[in-house]
Amino acid sequence: MDAMVRELSYAQAIQEAMAIAMDMDECVFLMGEDIGVYGGAFQVTGDLVDRFGSERVIDTPISELGGAGMAVGAALTGMRPIFEFQFSDFATLAMEQIVNQAAKMRFMLGGEVSVPVVMRFPAGSGTGAAAQHSQSLEAWLGHVPGLKVIQPATPYDAKGMLLAAVADPDPVMIFEHKLLYKMKGPVPEGYYTVPIGKADIRREGRDLTIVATSIMVHKALDAAAALEAEGIDIEVIDLRTIRPMDKQTVIDSVKKTSRLMCVYEAVKTLGIGAEVSAMIAESEAFDYLDAPIVRLGGAETPIPYNPELEKAVVPQVPDIIAAARDLVKGVR
């Protein structure tokens, strides 16, 4: 039976996934700041409290550490919490519970327990919210064995990956770019999952592989479309999961195109791009490279308030076009 496909926003797709998960399993519940009657700072939970009640859509005090720890404890003892950080930046207050507890509990206890918690992190710049409400911290958590870290880029993936995350026995961290929340795309009704740990080739090409995450997938696709007129044929890979990373898809692509560029919004240094580049340098794809690897990432600065400055510190479509053109034409 083909499920009915509608156009939903990314935020609506997440909300629908959470509703389906709660309908399917009474152990699934939501926790977070102002996710009840307020509907969440980005209206992702919306009116779910009307449908599921305040005992399953729980407004917490402004206590990120305690709240995250409660979600960990509830997951450890049989529940399936979905915990929303109001902004991903606020997860810095809860790193203890995420990094020391959620990620390591199963390991420290020799496999006797699991921690099936899902945490959601509204991330990224572009909203004028300045330095403490705009960061992209996914690589911090991607560095921690025991966590799974995903960055869905489309409404379809947001729904399917969230449902995969809820079904996953281990802690899954979902980084959602705030500028994607209003983006619309086709989303089937009903239950489906998109696997964690599998990248997606969004556009096939032969001249250059761009590995992008989250909102940069869309910018890379725009750049690829623009360069098509110049006869440059770009393959765009949506990494989707940064831990565990789908290495093979990237390796196979680089072997085909012989060029690699990584595009991500987080600060460039010590980020996803470094990991993907090093992974390729260590792989059999290295011998296929015809040019140095290029990384386009965020500037080495906090996110500024001024809108022009804010745009300038993260890669934009013209930056990707220019860098890709140079790379393919051998200018670099």
| Piece of the chain touching another protein by CB under 8 A; list 15-23, 142-150, 267-275, 283-291 | 142-150
The residues assigned a catalytic role are: 64, 133
Report if residue 36 touches another protein, rule: CB under 8 A: no
> DSSP of 271-316, one letter per residue?
SHHHHHHHHHHTSGGGGG-SS--EEEEE-SSPPPSSHHHHHHTS--
Report if residue 24 touches another protein, rule: CB under 8 A: no
d(CA 185, CA 164): 19
- CB nearer to another protein: pick between 169 and 292: 169
Report if residue 108 touches another protein, rule: CB under 8 A: yes
Nearest approach in angstroms of CB 25 to another protein is: 12
Report if residue 75 touches another protein, rule: CB under 8 A: yes
Nearest approach in angstroms of CB 155 to another protein is: 27
- Residue 176 in tokens: 């959602």
Report if residue 248 touches another protein, rule: CB under 8 A: no
Report if residue 66 touches another protein, rule: CB under 8 A: yes
| Piece of the chain touching another protein by CB under 8 A; list 39-47, 58-66, 211-219, 283-291 | 58-66
Q: What Cα–Cα distance (Å) separates residue 180 from each residue in 111, 243, 317?
A: 37, 21, 16
CB neighbours of residue 167 within 10 Å: 17
Report if residue 167 touches another protein, rule: CB under 8 A: no
In this structure, are residues 262 and 295 in contact, taking their beta carbons and an 8 Å threshold? yes
Which residues contact residue 200 at a Cβ distance below 8 angstroms, ignoring those fewer than 6 apart? 157, 237, 238, 240
In this structure, are residues 259 and 290 in contact, taking their beta carbons and an 8 Å threshold? yes
Nearest approach in angstroms of CB 59 to another protein is: 10
Is the C-alpha dihedral spanning 260, 210, 164, 195 positive or negative? Answer: negative
DSSP secondary structure code for residue 15 in this structure: H
Interface residue with another protein among 19, 24, 27, 289 (CB under 8 A) is: 27
In this structure, are residues 177 and 123 in contact, taking their beta carbons and an 8 Å threshold? yes
- CB nearer to another protein: pick between 138 and 170: 170
Residues contacting another protein: total by CB under 8 A? 41
d(CA 119, CA 149): 10
Taking alpha carbons only, the member of 122, 18, 31, 141 closest to residue 75 is 31
Report if residue 100 touches another protein, rule: CB under 8 A: yes
- CB nearer to another protein: pick between 65 and 131: 65
Nearest approach in angstroms of CB 117 to another protein is: 9
Interface residue with another protein among 1, 4, 145, 229 (CB under 8 A) is: 145
Report if residue 96 touches another protein, rule: CB under 8 A: yes
- Residue 88 in tokens: 């991903």
> Taking the CA atoms of the chain, what radius of gyration do you get in angstroms?
20
- Rule CB under 8 A: which residues touch another protein? 27, 29, 55, 60-61, 63, 65-79, 81, 96-97, 100-101, 105-114, 145-146, 148, 169-170
